[in-house]
């Protein structure tokens, strides 16, 4: 918050690198830095930005592809707290 009680927030409208936690983290860190350079004190990302929205959840879980995607999604998930959240904060 600045001296006038104003909190500048950045609404980040960018896509992650789907199912690539490390590349998405690098992108997020760069976007947060850009927002901070432009005066933001907080950068807000969309729901499920890391590792990406689980679009496979909309399909039938009876498909082998669904289970492959679910497994890949879990492999790219993050723990809170953990090294990814530490890098973001």
Is the pLDDT reported for residue 3 higher than 80? no
Average pLDDT, the chain: 91
Is the pLDDT reported for residue 2 higher than 80? no
pTM of the model: 0.84
- When pLDDT is cut at 50, 70 and 90, the band that residue 17 belongs to is very high
48, 51, 45, 89: which is closest to 71 by C-alpha? 51
Q: What pLDDT is recorded for position 14?
A: 96
pLDDT digits (tens, 9 = 90+) for 33-68: 999 999 999 999 998 898 888 877 777 778 888 888
Q: Report whether 38 contacts 10 (CB < 8 A).
A: yes
């Amino acid at each position: 918050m600045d001296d006038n009680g104003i909190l500048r927030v950045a609404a980040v409208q960018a896509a992650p690198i789907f199912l690539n936690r490390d590349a998405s983290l690098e992108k997020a860190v760069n976007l947060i830095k850009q927002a901070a350079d432009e005066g933001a004190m907080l950068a807000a990302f969309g729901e499920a930005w890391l590792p990406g929205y689980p679009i496979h959840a909309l399909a039938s879980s009876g498909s082998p592809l669904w289970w492959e995607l679910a497994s890949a999604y879990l492999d790219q998930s993050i723990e809170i707290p953990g090294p990814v959240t530490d890098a973001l904060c």
